[in-house]
């Protein structure tokens, strides 16, 4: 059964575990410090970017919105982190503060 495409969703959150582990059944990623964001691209290709607190982020990151729209995706949800990386892939989160 199809329903209407969501206008906003809650981001996926990491789970806390007692001990680290390694398994071929899991995919791991590097933790980046930045802005958690969910981009929702509608059926026309227009993107809206939301914070976990349901605040619009496209006014703060218009170039990210433009880049998402240039992907030519339709009816798509992207969940991730907006981060600035410097040398050796180190996070430049301080560059976001103004």
Kindly report the CATH number assigned to the domain that includes residue 91: 3.30.470.30
User: Residue 17: what pLDDT?
Assistant: 79
SS3 category, 56: strand
User: Residue 90: what pLDDT?
Assistant: 74
- pLDDT (tens digit, 0 to 9) for every residue of the chain, 98 residues total? 577 777 877 777 777 778 878 889 988 777 777 888 999 999 999 999 999 999 999 999 999 999 999 999 999 999 988 988 887 777 776 655 54
Q: What is the DSSP string of 8-43?
A: --PPP-PPP-SS----TT--------SEEEEEEE-T
User: Residue 6: what pLDDT?
Assistant: 77
User: Residue 98: what pLDDT?
Assistant: 43
Distance from C-alpha of 66 to C-alpha of 29, rounded to nearest angstrom: 25
74 found inside a domain:
yes
> Structural domain of residue 57, as residue ranges?
35-96
CA separation, residue 36 to residues 23, 25, 30, 79, 95 (Å): 26, 25, 14, 8, 15
4 found inside a domain:
no
Distance from C-alpha of 5 to C-alpha of 30, rounded to nearest angstrom: 30
73 found inside a domain:
yes
């Amino acid at each position: 059964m199809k329903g209407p495409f969501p206008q906003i969703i809650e981001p996926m959150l990491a789970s806390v575990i007692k001990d680290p582990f390694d398994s071929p059944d899991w995919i791991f990623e590097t933790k980046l410090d930045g802005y958690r964001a969910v981009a929702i691209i509608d059926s026309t290709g227009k993107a809206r970017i939301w914070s976990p607190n349901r605040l619009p982020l496209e006014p703060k990151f218009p170039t990210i919105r433009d880049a998402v729209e240039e992907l030519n995706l339709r009816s798509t949800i992207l969940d991730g982190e907006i981060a600035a990386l410097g040398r050796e892939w180190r996070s430049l989160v301080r560059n976001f503060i103004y």
